């Protein structure tokens, strides 16, 4: 276990592998990096740097008013510099994908490339039409559970466990997903704050500024951040390509690990 202090907060991080540095930005928020250790399959090609974002996981529970998209991006940039990992390939999943986009916009000198996994460019921008395909809404069963705010971290963990089947294309993968989430430390306060931040955030009108090579991967059966959202990202970026994984939902590295690893290796 390693820690370092950046921008007034202490972050927990772990490194594995050899090669070009790759920062892994976990989703959630309110979760941590442990669910992403399936990416270790890339450790023969990449120096993977996992870390828990501020107020998440094993990192210091910084005041929640300091949790903003800009601050999360600044933290990632500072960590890359501190660990001699700049410029880094940045791998961001779901909410981590939002942070990855903001990082590439605010600190392009620290980003060598982007891998955006099952994410969106945020709220509608001036370049969006309300009539554009935004993909189907999440299933009503998911919305019914997700619409209530858990009372504490334990209830948040139970709620996410109940929602987990809706994130998968094949329920045969549920046991693997639960196992991957087994070491997660939950923080309901960070989750609530992150949704407040997301409500006012969009990269849509700024994505043309991102000049680095970008791989956008999405599960065809992702009902939370649909393939339409990945296409919404890629058509605004000059050097982006989208790959749909036909047998995956929101966690393609869990549901199709071999194909996922092959796609990323070929892109690298």
Per-residue pLDDT band at 167 (split at 50, 70, 90) = very high
Q: Which two tokens stand for residue 175?
A: 């046991």
Residues near 144 by beta carbon (within 8 Å), at least 6 away in sequence: none
Per-residue pLDDT band at 143 (split at 50, 70, 90) = confident
52: containing domain: 2-267
Across the range 167-192, mean pLDDT stands at 96
Contact 161, 150 (CB under 8 A): no
Buried b / exposed e over 181-216, threshold 16 CB at 10 Å, is: beebbbbbbbbebbeebbeebbbbebbeebebbbbb
Per-residue pLDDT band at 134 (split at 50, 70, 90) = confident
The number of distinct structural domains making up the chain is: 1
Per-residue pLDDT band at 130 (split at 50, 70, 90) = confident
**Which pLDDT does position 136 carry in this prediction?**
84
In this structure, what CATH number is given to the domain that contains residue 157?
Answer: 3.40.50.1820
């Amino acid at each position: 276990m390693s820690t370092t202090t950046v921008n007034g907060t202490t972050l927990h991080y772990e490194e594995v592998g050899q090669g070009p540095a790759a920062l892994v930005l976990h989703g959630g928020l309110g979760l941590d990096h442990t669910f992403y250790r399936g990416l270790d399959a890339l450790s023969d090609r990449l120096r993977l740097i996992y870390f828990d974002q501020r107020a998440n996981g094993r990192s210091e529970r910084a005041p929640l008013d300091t949790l903003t998209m800009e601050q999360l991006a600044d933290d990632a940039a500072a960590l890359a510099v501190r660990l001699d990992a700049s410029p880094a390939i940045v791998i961001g999943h779901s909410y981590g994908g939002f942070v990855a986009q903001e990082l590439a916009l605010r600190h392009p000198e620290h980003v060598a490339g982007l891998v955006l996994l099952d994410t969106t460019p945020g709220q509608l921008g001036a370049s969006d039409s309300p009539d554009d395909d935004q993909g189907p809404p999440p299933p009503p069963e998911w919305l019914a559970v997700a619409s209530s705010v858990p009372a504490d971290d334990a209830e948040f963990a139970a709620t996410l466990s109940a929602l987990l089947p809706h994130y998968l294309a094949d329920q045969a993968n549920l046991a693997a997903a639960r196992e991957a989430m087994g070491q997660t430390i939950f923080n309901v306060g960070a989750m609530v704050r992150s949704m407040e931040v997301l409500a006012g955030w969009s990269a849509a009108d700024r994505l043309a500024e991102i000049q680095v090579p970008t791989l956008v991967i999405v599960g065809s059966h992702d009902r939370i951040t649909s393939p339409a959202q990945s296409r919404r990202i890629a058509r605004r970026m000059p050097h982006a390509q989208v790959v749909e994984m036909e047998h995956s939902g929101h966690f393609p590295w869990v549901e199709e690990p071999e194909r996922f690893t092959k796609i990323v290796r070929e892109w690298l």
